[in-house]
Structure formats: C-alpha cells, structure tokens
Structure 1
Amino acid sequence: MSIWWSLRLRRDAASVRLARRLFLGTMETAGVDPDITYDLSVALSEACANAVEHGGSGESCEAFRVTAYLDGEMCRIEVADAGPGFPAAVRTRPPCTAPPDAEHGRGLCLIQELADHVTIGTEPGRGGAVVSFDKLLKWREDAPLAAV
C-alpha cells in the first residue's frame, strides 16, 4: 500500500501547524506506530519552520512545498522552499553548535536524530532548499494499511 500527498503552503506559522496536523491524521489513519509518528511529526515541524523562517523574501518566495510518501514500510518527507538554499558544509552534515536550551539553530540536528536518513540540498533547476528524510515504519497491530 502506498499513500502520498503534497501541499503548497504559505510561509507563515499557521502552515507549520497545518502540515503537522495533516501528517498526524494520515499516520493515525494508516495505523503507524505512535512513537514513529511522533518522531516524524517533530522532524516535519522543524523542516517546515525552517522553510517559513529562511525560505526567502519577497513575493516570489511566499510558499513552500511539503510532500509525504508512505510506501511499504518506509516514510519519506520532503520540504522544499524557494529561498537561498544551504551552504555546502550544511548539506553534508549540519553543524550542531547551538546550546540545548537555544530557541533557534537546532532544527536540522533534530531532524538528523529523529530520521533514519536525511538529505539536505538544493531544488534541481530552481534553487532553494530541500530537506528530505525518511524513516522505517512500524505498524500498530490493528493497522488497516500495514505493509504485508
């Protein structure tokens, strides 16, 4: 069983909440283990918050895109914006230099810790940042869409 959805959202804080709620609803309906769902929802929120905060300025950068794929036993999430993208050093391994109680600067590090695989790059042919991450799924026993 495969599920995917894609959203084009405005760059404002309400969009982060909307993306997270839609994702949580999808995962609950599919029957994904709540702990896996929570980890991925936090990572999604961090990626969306980065797109809202750093996704560019001006009228050409008013939106960002979120795409989620549940395919078999894997979930992949991709968040893309039209901002300046990431420096090469961040694309290979984001620096985790922010103190634990900092309110900013830990998002990419949290995503690295919560997901199984993370790719940080630039949207081909368009510029902007792309953060994609995936995680192996676990299912509840009563999961209607569990992979067989």
Structure 2
Amino acid sequence: MSIWWSLHLRREAASVPLARRLLLGTMESAGVDPDVSYDLSVALTEACANAVEHGGGTAHGASTEAYRVTAYLDGEKCRIEVADSGPGFPSGRARPPFRPARADAEHGRGLCLIQELADHVRFDNEPERGGAVVSFDKVLKWREDAPLMAV
C-alpha cells in the first residue's frame, strides 16, 4: 500500500511543526519504526526551516509566500520533497556534500543533517518555476504490528 500527501504552506515558522506532526502521524499510523520516523522528521524540519528562511524572493513571478512539502510512503521507502519559490541554490552550490558549519556558528547545519539522516539526498533548483528543491528518501523499517508493512 502507498500513502502520499502534499501540503502548500505559508513561509512562516509555525508551518514547520505542522508538517513534522503530519509526517510523524502518518508514519505512526502506518507502523513505521520510531527511529526511522524520528530521523525523517528531523530532516523534514531542517528542509522546511530552510524554505521558510531562504525561500523568498522573486523567482519567475511565483508567489514567494508559500512552499510545498510532499511525502510518499511506498512499501519499503519514504521520499520527501520540499520545494520553495525563492532564488534557489547559488550556482555550483547545489551539489552535496556541503561543508559543516563552524562549531560556534548558530546556523548552517541543516543541509548536512539531512545528508546524515537520509539514505539518498538531492539538492536542486527548479528550472521552470525557480526556487530550491530538497528531496530525500530513506528505507523504511516497520514495527512488527505495522498495519501497512511492505509485503
């Protein structure tokens, strides 16, 4: 069985926990292992926080007050995509691995955390609409009593 959902959220800090809670609730209901759920929720939180902080600007006339989160749970894998309509990644920087922030820095760890928590990560710019797209996936582990466990 597959589950997917997509949210269009305002670029406000209050939208970040909403997306995280929806993801955690979906994975809990499906029977995903809590450790995997936690890793994906932290990665989603970082991607959403980046969209809120950096996803504004004037990208091809698009509305810059919103960003999109899409999640797919499909059998053995979960894929999450966060897309904004801001300026996107600077030319040449949309390539992992990113360098970690200095130890005393207050920002700059989000993309590195996503890389560490997910199995596969892609940082890209949306060529048609403009804006950054962060997508990542992770192989799912299931609880023994999982109602939607992959067969």
Instruction: Normalising by structure 2, report the TM-score.
Output: 0.93
Give, as a single letter, the amino acid of the residue that structure 2 aligns with 1:30: A
Equivalent-residue separation in structure 2 for 1:96 and 1:137 (angstroms): 27
Query: For residue 49 of structure 1, what is the aligned residue in structure 2?
Result: 49
Query: For residue 26 of structure 1, what is the aligned residue in structure 2?
Result: 26
1:35 corresponds to 2:42: no
Query: For residue 73 of structure 2, what is the aligned residue in structure 1?
Result: 70
Equivalent-residue separation in structure 1 for 2:103 and 2:17 (angstroms): 23
CA contact (8 A) 2:57 2:87 kept: no
Query: For residue 145 of structure 1, what is the aligned residue in structure 2?
Result: 148
Q: Give the paired residue count.
A: 148
The equivalences for 1:121-132 within 5 A come to 121-132=124-135
Structure holding more helix per residue: 1
Deviation at 1:101, TM superposition (A): 5.0
Equivalent-residue separation in structure 2 for 1:131 and 1:115 (angstroms): 12
1:79 corresponds to 2:82: yes
Deviation at 1:94, TM superposition (A): 4.2
Deviation at 1:93, TM superposition (A): 1.2
Give, as a single letter, the amino acid of the residue that structure 1 aligns with 2:25: G
Root mean square deviation, CA, Å: 1.4
Q: For residues 100 and 42 of structure 1, do their structure 2 counterparts lie closer, same or farther at Cα, with a shift above 3 Å needed?
A: farther
Moved more, 125-134 or 50-59: 50-59
Deviation at 1:11, TM superposition (A): 0.2
For residues 98-125 of structure 1, what are the alpha-carbon distances to aligned partners after superposition, in whole Å with 9 as ceiling and x for unaligned? 1245321010000000000000001231
2:94 partner SS: helix
Equivalent-residue separation in structure 1 for 2:104 and 2:2 (angstroms): 38
Equivalent-residue separation in structure 1 for 2:17 and 2:99 (angstroms): 25
Unaligned runs of 5+ in 1: none
Q: What fraction of aligned residue pairs are identical, expressed as a percent?
A: 78
Q: For residues 64 and 27 of structure 1, do their structure 2 counterparts lie closer, same or farther at Cα, with a shift above 3 Å needed?
A: same
CA contact (8 A) 2:100 2:112 kept: no
Give, as a single letter, the amino acid of the residue that structure 1 aligns with 2:34: P
Give, as a single letter, the amino acid of the residue that structure 1 aligns with 2:107: H
Equivalent-residue separation in structure 1 for 2:67 and 2:105 (angstroms): 25
Unaligned runs of 5+ in 2: none
